[in-house]
Structure 1
């Protein structure tokens, strides 16, 4: 079993590490960019780079940085104004990093990504090659979501989950999530008796905890839930993770006893399955009987029509769907091979019966096991 000591050692010994910092740690509504905080972060990461570690920074802050120059006193709600602020703020953010990293003789590179870039294989490989080349040339990649052009329906929504995917993209061994909170606690911040959780061993442990808090500064989009989802996503792909405050960055990258460490729970997953497990927006539900639920969850089988009892949600073939058992418990999530309106004629029939009555194309699995991931309580908590 992965221990806290081993997890922190994995972080301290990682040759390639991703560090994510949130808007609330870099900006304020009153003054825009906090240049002192940004410089301190750059100093720590510059020292790590000088020590021979490869560092990729995922930095929020573009939208918040753009508000003051635009004369806006509060974070806008409409997408167009947010995108305009991102366009203004991203240049200011990169200029600040360029100046701060120059003291360490590091040249930063701006990498703006969208969800499409990390979901579709060809774009994923292109992004991977680009970042790998930057690292090989000694360049310091700084990643952000491309807020100026991204569509609302296909965005990460915050950089926590983006950082987990970037860590997966570049085969990082560790992820450090920095925000305005010191650690995951047993109750929301300010609650009497709340205590730091030093280590999360897996999803079962999270079920026992109350996850709350949205940060204090009012300029970010991610709360504690998204940070835990990102840490869980990384751990689910073999990446040791530490969640702590920006002021603890030096201790965090050194593997010291700060924040909350998340132990690895799974070996590296394919990008497709990682997306399906943690980011895909489900389009409907396939309901199955008890036998099918056990076959999928306990024996790793594909889902066949003979075990399907119903469907809803209006999904098409190729859409991500939930698979739920007779008690409505979430069993799995997968890419369905048939549209919802095709399933009623297939319910309860064997593959042979389907082929004889509906044609050879209907002999296929409703969801193939290679296009399906088993689910747990964290998936339910992360439902959008």
Structure 2
């Protein structure tokens, strides 16, 4: 049974496991004060979901905002990387204690899990994170997940918790994600425009949808906007996970959205295998391969990436590392694990398999990126 409408997110049969993503602007006021009444109502909703038979994973922002308020840091703790890391170190203690207190009122145990980008980019570490989430849920806890901003650098971080939520949903084998925002969902234009229309159901994010999105966070507290949410959708929809953008400003936001049937529900457009879903969700590429039109078409049709179709090599990568694959117009069409170091790809690009052995000095592999290690985006 698959999810087809918002109310299915509250159905323990169709959605036995769900991720709630809470942004900083919903958890903390601009003044740095907590939205205590709202938080208590959300904790109650998590308890209600558990009573229905659903397991809940919470991806919670707020550590930097809380820590900045306690340290008196300017710009919400985002004035520099050092400020942000210091704010996160202080705020994370407050955030974990907050969730533990909120959930304990309902007899629930909170568990803290801090992740970095690399924890979900490297396969072994990803599987370890997945196993930990599974064990915590089996033990009856509510995992509270956040990016480990106290050690993450600008180069090695998610950048927003929307994409983290999508990756956590993958690792946690959830069926759905509820992204709580400060608007009702995705509109076909600026929500403030009088003729703006809410898009209720979407199957497959397109470039038109990205054009509708704004990259700014209206609160001034968080780091994400509608654009980051659509990037999270693209990760989720390839992994067979439904994602809903819901208005989180009012108390009991999940119940309000379900009962009023208000929000944007993104339905999966395919169900990749677990490994391919992980590959498709990877964000840090080590290089880029530019391919010609014929090769791009072959990839879309399910083929492997052959050297003959490569026209340009960018970046510095080694065998087994992830690379992006772009067409001649510069659009990213796929990504996967490369079978050669950069130097060898440069030697054989544009050449047939018969020519490659002489160029390499050894028998060539079947493909530069095999279709089993490649995901079309």
Check the 8 A contact 2:325/2:335 in 1, yes or no.
yes
Contact 2:210/2:227 (<8 A) preserved: no
Secondary structure in 1 matching 2:372: helix
Q: Report the Cα offset of residue 255 of structure 1.
A: 7.3
Alignment-derived partner of residue 145 in structure 1: 147
Shift of 1:39: 1.2
- TM-score, with normalisation over the residues of structure 1? 0.88
Which whole-Å deviations, capped at 9, do the CAs of 1:96-153 have from their partners, x for residues lacking one? 2222212211111111111222222222222222222221221111111111122332
Q: TM-score, normalised by structure 2?
A: 0.90
Structure 2, gaps ≥5 residues long: none
Paired residues for 1:334-345 under 5 Å: 334-345=336-347
Secondary structure class of the residue paired with 1:243: strand
Partner Cα separation in structure 1 for residue 118 and residue 216 of structure 2? 27
Residue 124 of structure 2 is matched in structure 1 by 122
- Deviation of 1:94 after TM superposition, in Å, equals 1.9
Name the counterpart of 1:169. Answer: 171
Equivalence for 2:295: 292
In 2, Cα distance between the equivalents of 1:241 and 1:270? Answer: 18
- Is the 2:348–2:359 Cα contact (8 Å) retained in structure 1? no
Report the alpha carbon displacement of residue 245 of structure 1 after superposing the two structures with TM: 1.7
d(CA) in 2 for partners of 1:308 and 1:359?
Answer: 20
* Unaligned 5+ runs, structure 1: 376-384
2:72 corresponding residue in structure 1: 71
Task: Determine the C-alpha separation between the residues in 2 that align with 1:174 and 1:366.
Answer: 35
**Kept in 1: contact 2:238–2:280 (CA 8 A):** no
* Structure 2 partner of 1:54: 55
Deviations 1:180-230 (A, max 9, x none): 222111112323422211111212485485111523221101111111211
Indicate the larger mover: 65-74 or 220-229. Answer: 65-74
Residue 185 (structure 1) aligned to one of 181, 184, 187: 187
Distance 1:27 1:111 in 2: 20
RMSD: 2.4
- How far 1:328 sits from its partner (Å)? 4.1
Out of 1, 9, 12, the position equivalent to 1:11 is 9
Does the 8 Å contact 1:280/1:320 carry over to 2? no
Deviates more, 1:241-250 or 1:133-142: 241-250
Corresponding residue for residue 159 of structure 1: 161
1:316, distance to aligned residue in structure 2 (A): 4.2
1:265 aligned onto 2:266: no
Q: Deviations over 1:161-196 (max 9, x none)?
A: 111111111211111011222211111232342221
